[in-house]
Amino acid sequence: MKTTGNLGLKKPDGTDIVDITDLNGNMDILDTAVKAVQDHAADTVKHITAMERTAWNAKASTSVATTTVAGLMAGADKSKLDSVAQGANNYVHPSTHSPSVIVQDSSNRFVTDAEKTAWNGKANLSTTPQQTTADVTYYVRTDGNDGNTGLGNTAGGAFRTIQKAISMIPKMVNHTATISVAAGTYTEALVLEGFISTDVLYLTATGVVNIKSMEILNCHGQFIVNGFTANTTTAIGAFRVSASRRVVFISCIVTTSAAQAGVYISASDVFVENCIISNRAIAVGALAESIVYATGNTGVNNAASYLSGYASYFGYTGSGPAGAMVAQDSGMLVPGSGVLNPWGDNTKTSRPIGEMHHENVSTSQVVPAMTWTKILFTANINNNKSIADVPNSRFVIPEPGFYSIEARVGAVAGANSLTREILAVHVDGVQNSWIAEQFHGGKGDIQISGSGLYDLYAGQIIELFIYSDVSCSIYTADKTTHFAIVRLA
């Protein structure tokens, strides 16, 4: 009979007779062995469920956690977590933002669709001169902003300054371009320079618009300035046009007092219509071969109304500002109708002419011997342009030019005692020239006469003086005592 290798259990062969005692012995051996194993494992091994196994396998390692391996948390990490606000992980970033939350600066600005459209429509300056592509109107308001497009007549659309609007107009104006300026005061000295227009560029005031001054330089085409008031007292002209063609001023105003011109024009072609110009040395002056047309203008207290000089042509009709008409240095002043003559007018009433005489005086004027004495006059015959000042016995020159002066004086003395008499013209209180001198062998009465040509300026004073070797009296009759002046050119 064989036995097992570990517990020595009996294993009968097929030929062996089975003994129940052997079987019972085997069972006792097994019972003892199993009981020993059971007692030994009871303290170290426990039975677990599948759920417990799954939960335990999901637990972290007892080592400190890393960014890739779960584990225990470090104290510093716990402090960081404690500082996070409740619900901090609930913020959701919006997909859009309003423009108001974005700060603009000189390098970062918003651009509107209208601006992009306008820019895209402009020519490429590197290959083509900048020019208009369609009619355009820019608006200017005192509540506007130069950061706007200028295309809307609102505070959010209009420009703040007129010069900004001017800068937006291309130099080549092939369409109607308009700058519409709302009422208000704009402390600007405006400059338009270098524009060429095949259409019209309008600068239009839509109310009372005050500016400092306006200069239009080297512009050719058609430029219409309507309704602006310029108040500078320092510029050569409140409105100035130089080397430009087809400039029109309509209903513009200059009233501030200054020793400069209201409208100053040089080498240009200009219309001045229905403007008010007051308190200026010259209301409208044309120089350097300019062509000027003026009509329906008004104004007061100007030294000169219209001045034409240096080969300029100045045509005028209707009313004009107060002041003398002045043509000098080959300039011409031409009324709106009639025949042109060397004086720049077509009637004698348009030229300064004055005649004064000495008659109907109850007491003759006495001339003391060897004393220069001013001749006194009592009445005038002609007094165009208010040149004759009878109460003061003088002529006051209203406009510059060449003047012819003629005088005759009758003198009487007793006992044939007259021997020598002289007539002299005084200019601004100073003896200028003798126009006559006579010697006699002794006469009781004489008439002395003479004339002269004088280059005079506006405001100068002309008086007549006589000298006699002996005391005499002045005849009281126009045929013998007469003083006359007329502008020749």
User: CB count, 10 Å around CB of 439?
Assistant: 9
At which of 350, 372, 402 does a domain end?
350
Has residue 478 been placed in a domain? yes
User: CB count, 10 Å around CB of 357?
Assistant: 21
Collapse the DSSP code of 93 into the 3-class scheme (helix H, G, I; strand E, B; otherwise coil) and give the result: coil
> Is 479 found in the same domain as 380?
yes
CATH number at residue 367: 2.60.120.40
User: CB count, 10 Å around CB of 254?
Assistant: 29
Has residue 263 been placed in a domain? yes
d(CA 170, CA 176): 12
d(CA 279, CA 34): 138
> Is 315 found in the same domain as 302?
yes
* All residues at 6 or more sequence positions from 3 whose CB lies less than 8 Å from its CB, including other chains: 9, 10, 11
> Is 332 found in the same domain as 312?
yes
> Is 323 found in the same domain as 186?
yes
> Is 374 found in the same domain as 332?
no
Has residue 43 been placed in a domain? no
Tens digit of pLDDT per residue, the chain (489 long)?
Answer: 788 877 778 787 777 777 788 778 878 887 887 777 776 665 556 677 888 888 877 776 677 777 777 778 787 888 887 887 776 767 777 888 888 888 888 788 888 888 887 777 665 555 556 788 899 999 999 999 999 999 999 999 999 999 999 999 999 999 999 999 999 999 999 999 999 988 899 999 999 999 999 999 999 988 999 999 999 999 899 999 999 989 999 999 999 999 999 999 999 999 999 999 999 999 999 998 899 999 999 999 999 999 999 889 999 988 899 999 898 888 888 886 544 444 445 556 678 899 988 776 667 889 999 999 999 988 888 888 889 999 999 999 998 888 999 999 988 887 878 889 999 999 999 999 999 998 887 888 888 888 899 999 999 999 999 999 999 998 877 678 889 999 887
User: Could you tell me the residue range of the domain that residue 409 belongs to?
Assistant: 353-487
User: CB count, 10 Å around CB of 331?
Assistant: 24
Has residue 233 been placed in a domain? yes
Has residue 39 been placed in a domain? no
Of the candidates 123, 145, 143, 144, the residue with the CA atom closest to the CA atom of residue 133: 123
CB-based contact 331:306 (threshold 8 Å): no
d(CA 91, CA 285): 75
> Is 482 found in the same domain as 386?
yes
Has residue 293 been placed in a domain? yes
> Is 379 found in the same domain as 320?
no
Q: In the block, which residue shows the tokens 């759920």?
A: 51
| Residue 333, strand partner residues | 314
d(CA 164, CA 182): 14
Torsion, Cα 311 312 318 323, to 10 degrees, reads -80
CATH number at residue 270: 2.160.20.10
User: CB count, 10 Å around CB of 251?
Assistant: 15
CB-based contact 187:209 (threshold 8 Å): no
Collapse the DSSP code of 192 into the 3-class scheme (helix H, G, I; strand E, B; otherwise coil) and give the result: strand
pLDDT for position 282 = 94
> Is 320 found in the same domain as 382?
no
> Is 483 found in the same domain as 438?
yes
Has residue 9 been placed in a domain? no
> Is 460 found in the same domain as 341?
no
* Residues counted in the chain: 489
> Is 153 found in the same domain as 279?
yes
> Is 227 found in the same domain as 336?
yes
At which of 301, 329, 350 does a domain end?
350
CB-based contact 470:418 (threshold 8 Å): yes
pLDDT for position 19 = 78
Instruction: Tell me the two tokens of residue 77.
Output: 């990490």
d(CA 34, CA 40): 10
Instruction: Say how many domains are in the chain.
Output: 2
At which of 309, 328, 350 does a domain end?
350
pLDDT for position 261 = 93
Has residue 51 been placed in a domain? no
Per DSSP (E only), the strands in 164-257 are 172-173, 177-181, 184-185, 189-193, 196-197, 201-211, 213-217, 220-230, 237-242, 245-250, 253-254
